[in-house]
Amino acid sequence: MKLVSDPAIAKKIQKMNQRVRWQDPLIKKRGIDQTSLLLEDGQADNPEFSFLVVGDSGSGRHGGQNPQRRVAELTLPHMNDCRFMLHTGDVIYLVGSSEYYQQNFIQPYKEYLVGGEHPKKIAYNNMTFRVPILPVPGNHDYYDLPIVLNLLSITTLPIRQLLRSRLDMDVGIHGSGTGDAYAKAFLDYLCAFKFPGDLNRHLDTYYTAKTDTGRCLSYQPGQFTRLPNRYYTFRYGGIDFFALDSNTFNDPPPIPETAEGDAERRILEQRRQEFEQQKQQILEKSTKLNPNDPSEAEDLDDLYVKLSQIEELVVDIDKQLAPQQATHTDVEQLKWLKQRLIESWHNSQVRGRVVYFHHPPYVTEATKWQQAQTLAIRSRLREVFNAVAATVGDLTQGRAVVDLVLNGHAHCLEYLQTYDTGYADSLINWIVCGGSGFSLRRQRTEGADLVDEDKLIARSHLYVGRNGHGSQKRRPYSCLRIDVTGEHQPKFIVQPLVAEWYQRQWHNHQLEPLII
pLDDT tens string 245-291: 999 999 998 899 899 999 999 999 999 999 999 999 998 999 898 88
Give the per-residue pLDDT at 151. 46
Give the per-residue pLDDT at 470. 85
Average pLDDT over residues 143-168: 60
Position 156 pLDDT exceeds 70: no
Average pLDDT over residues 197-208: 97
Query: Could you tell me where the DSSP H helices lie in 153-195?
Result: 159-162, 180-186
Average pLDDT over residues 433-459: 96
Q: Is 237 helix (H, G, I), strand (E, B) or coil?
A: coil
What letter would DSSP give residue 111?
G
The more confidently predicted of residues 301 and 403 is 403
Give the per-residue pLDDT at 300. 87
Partners of 514 in the β-ladder: 494
Position 243 pLDDT exceeds 60: yes
Average pLDDT over residues 132-161: 73
Q: Is 464 helix (H, G, I), strand (E, B) or coil?
A: strand
pLDDT band at 173 (very low <50, low <70, confident <90, very high): confident
What is the rounded CA–CA span in Å between residue 491 and residue 48? 10
What is the rounded CA–CA span in Å between residue 358 and residue 437? 15
Position 351 pLDDT exceeds 60: yes
Give the per-residue pLDDT at 60. 80
Give the per-residue pLDDT at 323. 83
| Long-range CB contact pairs, 442-451, < 8 A, 24+ | 442/365, 442/366, 442/466, 442/467, 443/364, 443/365, 443/366, 443/412, 443/467, 444/364, 444/365, 444/366, 444/367, 444/369, 445/366, 446/364, 447/364, 448/364, 450/362, 450/364, 450/369, 450/416
Work out the number of other CB atoms within 10 angstroms of the CB of residue 288: 9
Name which of 49, 356, 26 is nearest 191 in CA terms.
Answer: 26
What is the rounded CA–CA span in Å between residue 213 and residue 31? 9
What is the rounded CA–CA span in Å between residue 111 and residue 131? 9
Question: Cα 489 vs. chain centroid, distance in angstroms?
Answer: 27
Q: Is 471 helix (H, G, I), strand (E, B) or coil?
A: helix
